[in-house]
Every structure is written in C-alpha cells, then in structure tokens.
Amino acid sequence: MSDGSSIETLVAILRTEIGRLSPGDRLPSSRDLIARHGVGPVTVARAIALLAAEGAVVTRPGSGTYVTARGRRPAAAEADTSWQAVALAGRHLDVAEPAEPGPAGEVPAGTIALSGGYLHENLQPTRALGAALARAARRPDAWHRAPAAGLTTLRTILARQVGGDVGPQDVLVTGGSQGALSMLLRAVAAPGSPVLVESPTYPGVLAAARAAGLRPVPVPMDRDGVRPDLLADAFAMTGARLFYCQPTVHNPTGTVLTAERRRQVVDVTRAAGAFLIEDDFARHLGHGRPLPRPLVADDQDGTVVHLTSLTKPASPSMRIGAVVARGPVMRRLLAMRRVDDFFIARPLQEAAVELLSTPAWDRHLRALAGALHQRCAVLADAVTRELPDWTLARVPDGGLHLWLRLPAGLDEQAVTDAARAHGVAVDPGRHHYPTEPPGPRLRLAFAAAPEPADLTAAAHRLAAAVR
C-alpha cells in the first residue's frame, strides 16, 4: 500500500472513531495507533496533522490528541444543489467524458496501466526536479511577482529550444499546455465557430473546444499525416479560422507529418487566413531518432502558434509550458493572462530555469529516449504475438502510445471493460474522434507501467480478456 493510501485509510478510520467520541475525549496514542493499524509513525503523524488542519482534533504536546467540538458533530443533512439547474440554464457544455486517466498510481491495486498520458514516476527526473526546486527556493527573489509573459531567462531558453528566429519576445510562459490550449481557443475563435482538428486527435482539444462553445470539425489523416487536400476543402466548406494539429508524433497514431506535407499544411492554412495551432507535446519524447524541427521555426507570418510543455517529459506537476506566437495574437494572449491568472508562479518558473540549465536535463532526455524506445518495442512485440489479429498502426519514433485497430466484430468498450476486469487499464479509441469513429480502436500507453516486464504481462492479460 502506498504512503498516500495508508494515510487516507487511517484518516477515514480515525474520523469514524472521532464520531463515537465526545469533545475533549483523548485519541489513542501514536504508539497504540502504529501497533493497532500496522502503519509507520510518519503515516500516523500525517493523519493526525490532516485531522488537526480540519479542526477535528487538537494536539497538546506532552499530553496527547483530543477531539474538538467541531470534530464531534451530528451528521449533516443531504445538501440541496437543485438550485444550480436554474443558475446554469442556457450554458450547456457538450464535453465528453475524460479520456485521459491519471498517472499509474491512480489505477486500482494490481492493475497494469496501459492508459493515460504521463510517465511512470521511475521514468521522471525526480532527483533533478528536487534539486532544481531547492536551488530555486534559495534565490533571493524567488517569491517576487513574475512578469506576465514569464521570466525572461526561461523564455530565452524555451525560444532557443524551438529554433529558427524565435526570440524571448515571442514566448509566453503558461501553466502547462492544456491551460494554454484552452486560452488559445478562447482567444482566437468566437463561440459557435468551427475549429478544424485531425481525425483522430487528442481528446483534450475536443474537450477544450466544446467547453469554449466551438464546433470541432474532423480532417481525415492517412499514413503520412493530415491530408492537405481535405484540409483545404474543410477550410472552404466551414470558413474556419483555426486548425489544431500535432505534426510531430501525433497522439494517438504516432504519425510524423512528412516534409512535403508540413509545407503544404502551413500554406493551406495561410491561404485560408487562419491560424495553425501546433501542439508539439512530444518534442522531448523521441525514441532516439531525430525529429523534424517545429513548424513555427520556419514560419515568418505568424500563421503558426506553437505549444510546448515540460509536463510530459518531466512530471505531471511540472506545470510549465509555453505558447510561441507573433503579432496581435500574442498581445491578445497577454491581455487574457492579465484577466485569467496574472502570471505563472515564480518559484516553479525558477525551478524550470534551474532544471533546463543543468547537464542533468540532457542526461535525463537521453536516458528517457532509450527507455521509451525499449518499452515501445516490448509492448509492440507482445501485442503482435499475443493478439495477432489486432492491427498496429505503426511503431512510432516518439511519444508514449501505440494505436491499434481491433478486428471487426469486437466492441471496444466491451474489450476495455474486460481488460479492466483482467487487471489492465486501456484507453478506448472513440474519445479521439470528434464524430463517429470508423471502427473499434484502442490506445495503449507504454510509459505508465512500472517496468517493461509489466507490458508483456499486460498483453497476456489482454489476450485472456478477449478470449
């Protein structure tokens, strides 16, 4: 059992005991709680601290822990939130159920995670992150207000990573890429207007678009990426002024848009007088082979708006990303920043500067590339061997996922449910489509499980689930 779950379990037990006691009654000693519940002293101390923070108990040094009047209170009547139906009338959000489960630690015990979009903790640069945060905290100005656009040092580093003639003046630091994506959609497109997306695509953009009142419109892909001819047709038919795409290691298919199409897609978008949002989430998730440079590095006209983030290659809690944009759209984003959240927390920005400025970051990326390459190969081989009638779209050159087509006659939700019953969490494919999917698909993550051997075991369990 993890420390977090042990603490939560003990807190729940103690709340029940407190409910049977009277104000002023003393709780069992820490030594008694350790012996009775088989937990460590740190778990007991943290559980007591949580209850004290809630006001349920008070701790008196040298005496013990006592129930407060607040802690012993009668059960509250069931809350009545029916009034909210009237308050929210007229603002329906057609947002699909989430398709991005949390990290592997959130799946049921004994379940192997082939779901989600984050690295397992043993692939994260935990030591380097801790050291960077500690160094950042020692800066004398660590808690000063940060500039609205972000620290100049951080913006300079991020601009250098993008390449081309991108400079720090073109970079806006954000709290990860999902919030930046939501802000971009609201900044560029008016409610009710269409936004073009690859089909399939990242479920987060569909949720963000619908939450902003936009209409996602699919543009089909083939093995070389989004089709420029159909993109031109979609612009002409809908009058859209926004196209979202992932040209480098597409999620979920793993496709890298070919060099010829990279030029064509930008040209088609520019001709339509539209913006192209380039989600470059996988820039630091390559498997050892060179990836093409970002579209924005070769864009001189402000057509491409670029998204990047440290969340995927570092940690889910490293909520630092960036938007690269030129012209009035950047001024609009800065105006929205001053309305939404003023600035991104300076300590986290300083920690990002420390992380990106040390050799430890480059070492981490090299080690991560090798680990992802190995895990990708292990899962691809295991699925091909255990489930030979499933079709693997490709073995990707980067990213965190495999994309598979199921045989005709298999229902992806039934497979997803059966897999979970056999101890494997997978992502159903339907969440990746803005309209009806062309057939049953699954997305399998190879970075969320603890070890490569777990991927082989997961494929075996999947085969058993299908049988």
Query: What is the CATH number that goes with domain 3-67?
Result: 1.10.10.10
- Residue 207: pLDDT band (50, 70, 90) is very high
Query: What is the CATH number that goes with domain 104-123+362-466?
Result: 3.90.1150.10
Beta strands in 228-315 (DSSP E): 242-245, 275-279, 304-309
Q: d(Cα 191, Cα 193) in Å, to the nearest integer?
A: 6
- Residue 20: pLDDT band (50, 70, 90) is confident
pLDDT of residue 21: 87
pLDDT digits (tens, 9 = 90+) for 359-380: 999 999 999 999 999 999 999 9
- The domain defined by 126-358 folds into Aspartate Aminotransferase; domain 2 (3.40.640)
Percent of the chain at pLDDT > 70 equals 91
* Residue of 15 and 54 predicted with greater confidence: 15
pLDDT of residue 97: 47
Q: Cβ contacts of residue 239 below 8 Å, gap of 6+?
A: 194
**Residue 465: both structure tokens together:** 């689930």
pLDDT digits (tens, 9 = 90+) for 231-264: 999 999 999 999 999 999 999 999 999 999 999 9
pLDDT digits (tens, 9 = 90+) for 167-182: 999 999 999 888 899 9
Conformational region of residue 345, where left means phi above 0, alpha means psi within -120 to 50, and beta covers everything else: beta
Q: How crowded is residue 190: how many other Cβ atoms within 10 Å of its Cβ?
A: 10
pLDDT of residue 103: 41
pLDDT of residue 91: 56
Q: In what order do the strands lie in the sheet with 424-428?
A: 112-114, 424-428, 441-445, 401-405, 391-392
pLDDT of residue 158: 95
Q: d(Cα 429, Cα 384) in Å, to the nearest integer?
A: 18
pLDDT of residue 273: 92
Residues of the chain with CATH 3.90.1150.10: 104-123+362-466
**C-alpha distance from residue 320 to each of 69, 314, 317 (Å):** 43, 10, 9
Calculate the CA 53 to chain-centre distance.
Answer: 30
Q: What is the mean pLDDT of the chain?
A: 89
pLDDT digits (tens, 9 = 90+) for 28-83: 988 889 888 888 888 888 888 888 877 888 888 778 888 887 665 545 556 666 66
Q: d(Cα 429, Cα 416) in Å, to the nearest integer?
A: 10
Residue 337 near residue 182 (C-beta atoms within 8 A):
no
pLDDT digits (tens, 9 = 90+) for 296-347: 999 988 999 999 999 999 999 999 999 999 989 999 999 988 888 888 999 9
Residues of the chain with CATH 3.40.640.10: 126-358
Residue 464: Cβ-neighbour burial (10 angstroms; 0-12, 13-18, 19+): middle
Beta strand 57-60 pairing with 194-199 = unpaired
pLDDT digits (tens, 9 = 90+) for 194-204: 999 999 999 99
Q: In what order do the strands lie in the sheet with 242-245?
A: 171-174, 321-324, 304-309, 275-279, 242-245, 194-199, 215-222, 225-226
pLDDT digits (tens, 9 = 90+) for 86-104: 666 665 555 444 444 444 3
